[in-house]
Structure 1
Amino acid sequence: MLWCLYEATHLRVDGEDVLEEAIQFSRKKLEALLPELSFPLSECVRDALHIPYHRNVQRLAARQYIPQYDAEPTKIESLSLFAKIDFNMLQALHQSELREASRWWKEFDFPSKLPYARDRIAEGYYWMMGAHF
């Protein structure tokens, strides 16, 4: 429940001092409890302390959660397999789109035509996908 409190407090808006105190309290307690937690839960809490769920890129959070779910004794094998296939298919799509965007960038010689633009296709693509998903 403390982990849920920590995650929920990140939905606060400016001026909610009670939630700011709750973040500090729950973070301190979770950091103290972390060495005592068992594997799947400890990884979830560690990930949440690093980047809270609501501030994370959802597909990256899903990728981090797959091994944690696989360690659960009550996991559903078909769900785990579907999550892995879904992630791999989306990753293949992103790689294909990035190859195509890179090809266009080089083909149209944008670095010389747009010298003020950054020559960073991969980073731009990643930011767009992070905002989209």
Structure 2
Amino acid sequence: MMQEAWEFNSKHLKDLDDKDVDQNLVALVENALELPFHWWAPRFETTWFIDLYERKEDKNHLLLELAKVDFNILQGIQQEDLNDTLRWWENTGLRELTFVRDSFIASYLWALGISFQPQYSYCRKVITKAIALIIVIDDIYGTLPELELLTDAITR
């Protein structure tokens, strides 16, 4: 039943004559049809929404400025978190395992999707490390010296 409702709404929204509709609303609908709102990671679309709001004629300039400042502050905090966890990654020695995927940034993005709020910095770091280690363990089909190197890194 939900699938039928989705197909019905999608068809009619795609066929909508957008000449008589607010262009910001058209952009929101097109974006929602591409990927429904409830599937988004909360902060990954922030710049898209800020840009969309900036184009509104009746925008609140203070609210817009606050959104930009909030985004920049949070991005700075998240960059510090990433730098801290990258230093940890470099110190583990796991980069010496040449067969392991280098997907540390992807690990951080997963953590960011789970907890983006500034007060959850420690949580993001721990999740990033856990995902990175899971990826390493998943990639292991190594020789005894490589497995010993991994064991030493995990022990540290």
In the superposition, the TM-score normalised over structure 1's length comes to 0.76
Equivalent-residue separation in structure 1 for 2:11 and 2:91 (angstroms): 53
Q: CA RMSD in A?
A: 1.9
Indicate yes or no: 2:59 matched with 1:75. yes
Bigger relative CO (Cα 8 Å, ≥ 6 apart): 2
Conserved in 2, the CA contact under 8 Å of 1:69 and 1:75?
yes
Instruction: Tell me which amino acid in the other structure corresponds to 1:97.
Output: D
Paired residue type of 2:108 = Y
Deviation digits for residues 75-131 of structure 1, max 9, x if unmatched?
11111101111111111111121122112111221233x677543110000011102
Gaps of 5+ in 1: 1-16
Aligned 1:1-133 pairs, distance under 5 A? 17=1, 19-33=2-16, 35-36=18-19, 37-112=21-96, 118-133=101-116
Offset, 1:34: 6.2
Deviating 4+ runs (over 6 angstroms): none
Over alpha carbons, which structure has the higher Rg? 2
Equivalent residue pairs, number: 115
Tell me the alpha carbon deviations over residues 46-69 of structure 1, each in whole angstroms, 9 at most, x when there is no partner. 111111111101112332111111
TM-score, length basis structure 2? 0.65
